[in-house]
Amino acid sequence: MNSNNQESRQSSLSHLDGNGDITMVDVSGKMATTREANAVGQVRFPSEIYAQIKAADGMTKKGSITQTAHIAGIMAAKRTHDLIPLCHPLPLDKIGLAFAYDDDLNAIIVSGTVKVTHKTGVEMEALTAVSIACLTIYDMTKALSHDIVIDNIHLVTKTGGKSDYSHA
């Protein structure tokens, strides 16, 4: 890669300065606005395991799959700055998680919404909440099968800040 392309790409990445060194984004000059992000992911099961989990309404010997994952997701969103370098610690206003069974995919779909009034967005917090909720579901069900797949974790929407985003 020539140096002009490298410089151009580095300047477009928010956590790199002009020299290519890692930096935390300076948000001191930004205005605090309401920002919200929504993320989604899924935990797919072999069909017989999915049927067993759904028939038991998500209850296992360890307890409720979704209730445990809900708490884990909330805790994770609140600790995102401890998990992902360069994320700002944020006083989150709302963390919501929802869980739905999808019979076509043999999956539990996890949706997460995080909201804050601050100088920086909450995309990473929403993605972290969904990721950890999915991992918790895996942990709660791995005794039934290791053929469980966590996938399609992605940002769905974000509002506030410089620009809004919606996944097509």
- The domain spans of the chain are 31-161
Q: Among the options 139, 147, 151, 164, which is catalytic? A: 139
Residue 139 is among the residues annotated as catalytic for this protein? yes
Q: What pLDDT band is residue 13 in, cutting at 50, 70 and 90?
A: low
Separation CA 115–CA 62 (nearest Å)? 30
What angle do the packed helices 123-141 and 65-78 form, to 10 degrees?
150
pTM for the whole thing? Answer: 0.87
For the record, the structure tokens of 159 come out as: 């509002």
Which CATH class name applies to 31-161? alpha beta
**pLDDT per residue over 56-89, tens digit each?**
999 988 899 999 999 999 999 999 999 998 899 9
E strand residue ranges, 12-125: 33-44, 59-60, 63-64, 94-102, 107-118
Say how far apart CA 8 and CA 168 lie, in whole Å: 27
